[in-house]
Amino acid sequence: MARSFGQLAKKAERDSGCLSVSKDPTKKPELKIHTLGDNVLRKPAKRISKVDSSIRDLVKKMLHSMYSAKGIGLAAPQVGIHKQLLVIDLDIENAANPPLVLINPEITDFSASIETYEEGCLSIPGVYLNVIRPSTIKVNFRDERGRPKKINADGLLSRCIQHEMDHLNGVLFVDRVTNQEDLNKELETHGFNNRDVISME
């Protein structure tokens, strides 16, 4: 039986599977988000063999960095850690809505239908460009407690998961942009070099 409020809170967090993290921005988050041109963004991530307290601590630090940057998704390689780990929160203004944590995510099915939608990235701040992706996906992953999960995602969640999973393979959304004129203009305007783009075409 828990002996204190702290133990009760930890037990509740453990039972619910949701990490208790403030969505308020932090002035100095512990993890730095790397930007286009940093080689660290191009290295593939490795599977996580054990989901333990160190992984949950990393999740919390990633969430702090994501919320501080006003982002809705962040992959571990973006903070220089090459593990297959994503954090996503499409409702960052709502403290009651828990973030989604995906460990070792695998897309098991893509829809035949595709959509074009504008994307941005915390690793390429200020740049927003259209990207074509499948409309819906099915994803297998483990949550922050190591429990296997499956979800069907569409709309913004589908796009966000695909975008963040690209980071696990060293791919950035600008690599998928087909309009080269718009791409070059946006990159130049925001101080990035188009030579750091690796076209997927």
Catalytic residue numbers read: 164
Under a CB-based contact definition with an 8 Å cutoff, are residues 77 and 101 in contact?
no
What three-state secondary structure class fits 143?
coil
Widest pairwise Cα distance in the chain: 64
> Residue 164 and residue 170: Cα distance in Å, rounded?
10
Q: Are 124 and 172 in contact (CB under 8 A)?
A: yes
Q: Is the dihedral of CA 13, 15, 16, 17 positive or negative?
A: positive
The C-alpha atoms of residue 63 and residue 59 are separated, in whole angstroms, by 6
